[in-house]
Structure 1
């Protein structure tokens, strides 16, 4: 429940709104948070940054993807796709190539 987090006492912030699937909900102490809920937090900047470490900020991380990890994944996919492997019953080796889809 939202009230059980005691965010005002521990961090000095208030939750003013909760958005769930595009619907605005009243932030009451009895509201049970669900995965994917977006909270509107009111408080000092330092306090908001502290509570962000606890609650997370998926919207921010989705807007700023880690391009290094994506690049490494692409390079590994290209390298593994170029390695031929044998399947019993097929005379020629098989490679995944550039596309690893179905």
Structure 2
């Protein structure tokens, strides 16, 4: 494992957001959703593509809190521009489980 400096970690903006809308990403090469995530007043709503279809249905995602990197450069993914990276972990079957806070926290809160 590569060791990083504390300043490297501090430069990553891992923030809490709430999924406002989730839709099937029809044009994706691999099954995915387009997520619209609200990070609060100071950051706003950002869009992301997420390959989480194995563990989550669209209707179960709306209202869910997630942790995402909000200061990566925007990235073109097919016809959409991804504006944040929603985080997760691969489970034993290789499916992505979202990284989520275990209690309610204010939108836009930074991971410490």
Choose 1 or 2 for highest CA Rg: 1
Q: TM-score, normalised on structure 1? A: 0.21
Higher relative contact order (CA closer than 8 Å, sequence separation 6+):
2
Greater share of helix? 1
Greater share of strand? 2
